[in-house]
Amino acid sequence: MGIYMDNAATTAQKPADVAEAMTKILQGEYGNPSRGAHGYSLAGFRVAEEAREQVKKLFQADQRYEAAFTNNATVALNEVLKGLIQAGDHVITTDWEHNSVLRPLYQLEKQGASFDVISSEAVTGRLNYGEFVEYLRPETKAVICNHASNVTGNLLDLEWVKDFCEKHQLYLIIDASQTAGVVPIDLSDGKISAVCFTGHKSLYGPQGTGGVCLRKNLPIEPVLTGGDGMQSFSKVQPKELPTLLEAGTLNIPGLAGLTASIQWLQAKEARPELGEYFYQGLEEIAGLTIYGDFTGARVDVFSINIKDAESAIVSDLLWEEFSIATRPGYHCAPLMHNALGTADRGTVRISFSSFTTKAEVDEVLAALRNLALR
Amino acid sequence: MGIYMDNAATTAQKPADVAEAMTKILQGEYGNPSRGAHGYSLAGFRVAEEAREQVKKLFQADQRYEAAFTNNATVALNEVLKGLIQAGDHVITTDWEHNSVLRPLYQLEKQGASFDVISSEAVTGRLNYGEFVEYLRPETKAVICNHASNVTGNLLDLEWVKDFCEKHQLYLIIDASQTAGVVPIDLSDGKISAVCFTGHKSLYGPQGTGGVCLRKNLPIEPVLTGGDGMQSFSKVQPKELPTLLEAGTLNIPGLAGLTASIQWLQAKEARPELGEYFYQGLEEIAGLTIYGDFTGARVDVFSINIKDAESAIVSDLLWEEFSIATRPGYHCAPLMHNALGTADRGTVRISFSSFTTKAEVDEVLAALRNLALR
């Protein structure tokens, strides 16, 4: 169809193993896990448990952690934030957050919680880490941070935030939607309370998968409740993880696909570094504004604008004239655009995957050069 | 592996079209719907819209209704119940409900709502419809009913309940987990407010699909919030359906599978009626207690016990000795067991699908005859 550069929204190309693993479930003899002791049910249960083990291994999670599955990162973030934060609690978050964090926080604010937002710099989007301590209050309970901005590609200084949270005894929730599978996340020091992730982006799994890898001892009240197949006479959702956060039937074919994709990720060869190459190419194009911080660690998500053009017009031209799929607008991250200075027109977002080639990157640069001359 | 008779938990056998449709998405060029205007995103969008149209057509829903997708019926029930019922509201429900309805209601009760439960008869599980009017109060806002009991297979008198709700101006929410795809549900008279359904049972779609087909004008506050790809600067989830109930990325391969399964359902030939045949066979076995009402309309879900044996032991023997997969216990429906008189040992549940054959039914009857002689 063209050149797909919208991998921060979803990776369109998946390893072949994913569809194969899912087909195996759908054409095989797999029942509903935890809903019977027969072989079909156990086969389904084993698929879920294998995915759990893969996720825990990926995040180097030890026995203090459990993985619970949802249908996407948004639901996981809702479950963790709304389950953990009560009226009266205070939360520190950042300009980088997606609406999957901000909208739950606005809802919690209506219910009597409060939050402050760490600001970031114009154009570079660099986070002002000094503000963390300024916003600290006796009632501060948690920090929720995007591990990498889905607008700029800037990576959080996770070690700094971990130490801050440890020092002040705050729960630390990480939104790894842009990083799981591409930036290592190491839970082995126990400092992160919960990592919310999606399966369908840089983990290369199917849509319909995601979840949270979290400390078992978090005082979470379930947002979603239902059958668990075990404690039918209990009026409340069982307190045990993962059941506490997994109301209703799991996406077993999806989890088989996720296991396959994580295994593929771990076995694949490192791909040539294209981000720095692309950035250098962008810098040579007159008339481009490049957003983000290119002095530190980052993921391959780039936001640009061309002269004073609307991002939607540039993105449409890229698709119509060059068959290059990018995403214009605000990327569900309004505060980031207030900070960058792009609240009026958004940005054109270009995001790579493991399948992105140098030839494709060259074509994107050529198209941008063409458009910048108009 | 054996004879699968746990289709009320999930239909293990799916039409071949389901895996094919999902593989087409995973190996094709499909992006994240509503997150860009390029061809990949539009291709993903069309998959979701086609599934929406299939669901609406299945339920004969006109333009007053919309279909919104979740990962299972439980999440749909949570979204509708918690989104609609406020502190001070009263709800009427039944003994037949699954914990996916009861546990949300217990949570709502803690927040100041209240509910009453229509009782049902011992052994037959027949619902005492006369109680509906007894429980009616000025603050009664909604009725939530299981369309068919997942324990007995009894079918609700939906026309009666629809008329009751219309007469008293109550929202009517139907849990169609056991009926969607096997019992027609007709929304064309506009009397039902919301039908919550799952994709992976009698719709023969993949796990990870489900949702709700609901009146567009319901005053629902979203339980889950997040990005919608469109109105990034809004602090709240957009009020428009389906976005209001679809926070985060949809399960596009799953929805392609659901479309394929609904199309398969509508094209397939009617299967021979095996429920009545099975019931007659059961009746001939001495020592069996058969639960449920066999005088009216029902789905092919049967609950039995053998003499005074624990249901778990019978179910284990059926699996270990006869390779027949059934489900023992409470089936996440505690009040049903209080009513039936099986709260001490549950029931052995045997549930058919469209793929169930007469030969398989005969094998089940033979196994039960064998066990009943011990």
Q: Do B1 and A233 touch (CB under 8 A)?
A: no
**One domain for residues B297 and B258:** no
Say whether B208 and A71 touch across the interface (CB within 8 A): yes
End-to-end C-alpha distance for chain A, whole angstroms = 25
Contact of B224 with chain A, judged by CB distance below 8 Å, is answered with yes
The reported pLDDT for the residue numbered A35 is 62
Query: From first to last of its 374 residues, what are the pLDDT tens digits of chain A?
Result: 899 999 999 999 999 999 999 999 999 999 999 766 899 999 999 999 999 999 999 999 999 999 999 999 999 999 999 999 999 999 999 999 999 999 999 999 999 999 999 999 999 999 999 999 999 999 999 999 999 999 999 999 999 999 999 999 999 999 999 999 999 999 999 999 999 999 999 999 999 999 999 999 999 999 999 988 778 899 999 999 999 999 999 999 999 999 999 999 999 988 888 999 999 999 999 999 999 999 999 999 999 999 999 999 999 999 999 999 999 999 999 999 999 999 999 999 999 999 999 999 999 999 999 999 99
Residues B311 and B297 in one domain: yes
Q: Which residues of A touch B342 (CB under 8 A)?
A: none
Q: Do A243 and A316 have their domain in common?
A: no
Mean pLDDT along residues B284-297: 97
pLDDT value at residue A4:
98
Domain that holds residue B334: 3-12+271-372
Tokens of B92: 């009427």
Which residues from B are below 8 Å from A330, CB to CB?
Answer: 232-233
Q: Which of A41, A99, A325 sits opposite B226 (nearest CB)?
A: A99
CB contact under 8 A, B249 and A39: no
Instruction: Say whether both A8 and A80 belong to one domain.
Output: no
For position B335, which CATH number holds?
3.90.1150.10
Structurally, chain A folds into a number of domains equal to 2
User: Helix or strand or coil: residue B336?
Assistant: helix
B34 falls in which pLDDT band (50, 70, 90)? confident
Q: Is A312 in Cβ contact with B226 (below 8 Å)? A: no
| Chain B residue with the nearest C-alpha to that of A100 | B226
pLDDT score at A130: 98
Asked if the Cβ–Cβ distance from B226 to A104 is below 8 Å, we say: yes
Question: What is the nearest CA distance from B215 to chain A, expressed in angstroms?
Answer: 22
Q: Which of B223, B249, B338, B340 to mutate to test the interface with A (most CBs of A within 10 A)?
A: B249
Which are the contacts of B61, defined by CB distance < 8 A and separation ≥ 6?
A: B55, B67, B187, B188, B213
Which of B266, B287, B311 is the last residue before a domain boundary?
B266
Q: Where is the domain boundary, B233, B266, B299?
A: B266
* A218–B contact, CB cutoff 8 A: no
Give the one of B9, B16, B30 whose C-beta lies nearest to A36's C-beta: B9
User: Do A206 and A106 reside in the same domain of the chain?
Assistant: yes
CB contact under 8 A, B10 and A31: yes
Other CB atoms within 10 Å distance of the CB of residue A261: 26
Cβ–Cβ below 8 Å for B19 and A26: yes
Q: Is B313 on the interface with A (CB under 8 A)?
A: no
Q: Are residues B135 and B65 in the same domain?
A: yes
Residue of chain B nearest A252, judged by CA positions: B207
Contact B227 A100 (CB under 8 A): yes
Check CB contact of A233 with chain B, cutoff 8 Å: yes
| Alpha-carbon gap: B25 to the closest alpha carbon of chain A (Å) | 9
If asked whether residues B324 and B289 sit together in one domain, one would say yes
Quick one: which of B291, B294, B361, B295 has its CA closest to B333?
B291
Q: Tell me, yes or no, if B16 comes closer than 8 A to chain A by beta carbon.
A: yes
Instruction: Tell me if chain B has a CB within 8 Å of the CB of A247.
Output: yes
Residues in contact with B344: Cβ distance below 8 Å, sequence separation at least 6, in sequence order: none
Euclidean distance between CA atoms A154 and A156, whole angstroms: 7
A224: distance to nearest CA of chain B, Å?
Answer: 6
Instruction: State phi, psi for A235 to the nearest 5 degrees.
Output: -80, -15
Interface test with B, best of A207, A337, A340, A351 (most B CBs within 10 A): A207
CATH of the domain at A230: 3.40.640.10
For residues B132-147, average pLDDT: 98
Q: Is A253 on the interface with B (CB under 8 A)?
A: yes
Are residues A182 and A61 part of one domain?
Answer: yes
Contact B226 A251 (CB under 8 A): no
User: A92: part of which helix (H) or strand (E)?
Assistant: strand A90-94
Asked whether the beta carbons of residue B74 and residue A226 sit closer than 8 angstroms, the reply is yes
Q: How far is CA A186 from CA A92, A138, A209, A357, B117, in A?
A: 22, 28, 21, 29, 49
Determine which of B10, B108, B203, B349 to mutate to test the interface with A (most A C-beta atoms within 10 Å): B10
- Residues 254-273, chain B, touching A (beta carbon < 8 A): 254, 257
Q: Of A218, A237, A266, which residue is a domain's last?
A: A266
| Distant-in-sequence, close-in-space partners of B273: CB < 8 Å, separation ≥ 6 | none
Tens digit of pLDDT for each residue in B92-136?
999 999 999 999 999 999 999 999 999 999 999 999 999 999 999
Mean pLDDT estimate for chain B = 97
Is there a contact between B298 and B154 (Cβ–Cβ < 8 Å)? yes
Chain A, nearest residue to B325 by Cα: A38
Does A212 lie in the same domain as A319? no
Asked whether residue B293 falls in the same domain as residue B256, the answer is no
Q: What is the pLDDT of residue B35?
A: 62
User: Which stretches within A27-72 are classed as H helix?
Assistant: 39-58
Residues of chain B in contact with residue A336, where contact means CB-CB under 8 angstroms, are none
Enumerate residues 6+ apart whose C-beta is below 8 A from B192.
Answer: B162, B172, B174, B185
Q: Among partner residues B31, B250, B252, which is closest to A325 by beta-carbon distance?
A: B31
Both A276 and A330 in one domain: the answer is yes
Q: Which residue of A has its CA nearest to B78?
A: A224
Q: Please give the helix or strand (H or E) that residue A181 lies within, else none.
A: none
**Cα B312 to Cα B353: distance, rounded to the nearest angstrom:** 22
What are A235's strand-pairing partners?
Answer: none
Under DSSP, the state recorded for B10 is -
> What are the C-alpha distances in Å from B122 to residues B133, B144, B288, B340?
21, 21, 16, 4
State the count of interchain CB pairs (< 8 A) between A and B.
318
A341 with A254, same domain: the answer is no
The C-alpha of B161 sits at a distance from chain A's nearest C-alpha, in angstroms, of 24
Rounded distance between C-alpha atoms, residue B224 and residue B272, angstroms: 43
Interface membership of B236 toward A (CB under 8 Å): yes
Pairing of strands A348-351, A301-306: antiparallel
